[in-house]
Structure 1
Amino acid sequence: MPENKDKSQPIAVSAHDLPLYCPQPDAPLWARHPRVFLDVLTEGKAVCPYCSAQYEFTGEAPKGHH
């Protein structure tokens, strides 16, 4: 998962990052909240309901997902 220093910019995720959840394993302790899985494939983007982190899907969707 690429690190995102600018929180106003979406975090780019790919098929390798699925299933997508927040917070990511590399999140600092102060940024932890209950894990929530996010559907980034339906609209190509998702926002975490806890911390408002924005995720944007890039690349090709895995087979079987549209």
Structure 2
Amino acid sequence: MAELIDNNQRRIEVTAKDLPLHCPMPNMRLWDSHPRVFLPIEETGEARCPYCGTLYVLNGPLPHGHH
């Protein structure tokens, strides 16, 4: 079983396999989470969740077919 991470981690690196990006992510604890929100990370390479303030940073290239 994958290790669950707390929702209070403030910076998370993601890769193209995590797209489309949403918060909370599948490996986060859900009992204290907020509603799922999709985050547009493709244009700038980073996105901040409006609910919890977590900053997601894209690590690596986008897959072909993403703009």
TM-score normalised per structure 2: 0.78
Percent identity over the alignment is 44
Higher helix fraction: Structure 1 or Structure 2? 1
Aligned: 1:12 with 2:13: yes
Distance of aligned partners of 1:19 and 1:38 in 2 relative to their CA distance in 1, 3 Å threshold:
same
3-state SS of the aligned residue for 1:12? strand
The answer for the alignment partner of 1:43 in structure 2 is 44
Q: What is the identity, as a one-letter code, of the residue corresponding to 2:39?
A: L
> Which segments of 5 or more consecutive residues in structure 1 lack a partner in the other structure?
none
String of CA shifts for 1:13-49, please: whole Å, max 9, x gaps: 011101100011222211x111100011110000000
Shift of 1:52: 0.5
Shift of 1:61: 0.7
Q: Distance in 2 between matches of 1:56 and 1:4?
A: 16
The answer for the alignment partner of 1:23 in structure 2 is 24
3-state SS of the aligned residue for 1:11? strand
Q: How many residues align?
A: 63
